[in-house]
Amino acid sequence: MPHARFYHIGHAGTVALLPTLSDALAAAKVGGFLWLDYCQPSREDLAPLSEALGLHPLALDDCLDERQLPKVSDFPGSTFIILNSFLYVERALRIEEVDVFVGEHFLVTVSGCDAAGRPLLADVLPTAESRHDSALRGPAFLLHVVMAAVVDQKVTAIEALEETLDGVEEPLMAAPSSFNPAELLHLRRDLQALRKSLFHEREVLARFCRRDFPFVPEKAVIFYRDVHDHLVRLFELAESCRDLVTSLMEIYLSLLNNEMNRVANQTNRSMRRLTLISTIFMPLTLLAGIGGMSEWTMMTGQANWHIAYAVFILAMAAIGAVNYYLLRWLERRE
């Protein structure tokens, strides 16, 4: 549900929650700085910021587009940052955009809600108040807390992905024929999205560490370096998880190929046995067809039938035995 919070932070680190934007702007004239936090706002909610704080209309339009990759843009009077927050809920990765405007006397954040319906930045103010000696000294210091909160959500998402990956590995090794490879494909897609976001956010933090923007004082750089180090480690972890998914897919294909070869070998053995039996009985069938006709009795004489048929049966048995051992010998040679 859309809502907004307007905070005025005084020079002594005191935080005051004000009811309207006009009240916050009036309080800022006394001193301190503002934090304006919007959750799922509409275009009409953000429109007054263009005149009140001088925010660029193009940047405000980007706040309403939820398909943006992390980036940073410098405008006259403010710096615009886009971050990606990741939520892993019910084995599905959800991307939420966090947009930030930082100026000399204000910080504006635009974000969405988590799976429980809470604002993504709901815990930023308690965290900032717990370290009031640094986080409430200015907009750049509070921005560090916002970035750290977004990175912590990425850590939670990666840990959940790792647990899912561990749960996939065991059934894959136990029964590859019944394993569903779509799970690996979904994990790989989620890790690819996470890696892409981490790559761009790492570049954003690198620019903050280099002090490419006028609203980042020298004393705040050390805090951004800490966030940058976390992003580098998370990027490497996402890379290793992606490599593990690729290895599991290769193992799955190898195990499945081995299973198919085993079934094919069993089929080939069965066909060889049937071929052997057919080869043995083909000449016997021919002889039985001839022996069952009157020509055999005419050749041996009707009076000698009891001797002739005994000899015929022995000949059939001998031919069958010779065929059997001959085929077995050929099979052993192969």
Question: Which pLDDT score, from 0 to 100, does residue 101 have?
Answer: 93
CA distances (Å), 304 to each of 270, 297, 318, in order?
43, 8, 21
By C-alpha distance, which of 284, 276, 293 is closest to 313?
284
Torsions phi, psi for 148 (to 5 deg): -65, -35
Burial class (CB within 10 angstroms; exposed 0-12, middle 13-18, buried 19+) of 111? buried
Neighbours of 131 (CB within 10 A): 12
pLDDT, position 41: 87
Answer yes or no: pTM beyond 0.85. Answer: no
Mean pLDDT per 10-residue segment, the chain (334 residues) = 82 83 87 88 87 88 84 88 86 85 90 77 79 73 88 86 82 77 84 88 88 83 89 89 86 81 78 73 69 58 68 77 75 68
Element (H, E) at 298: helix 294-300
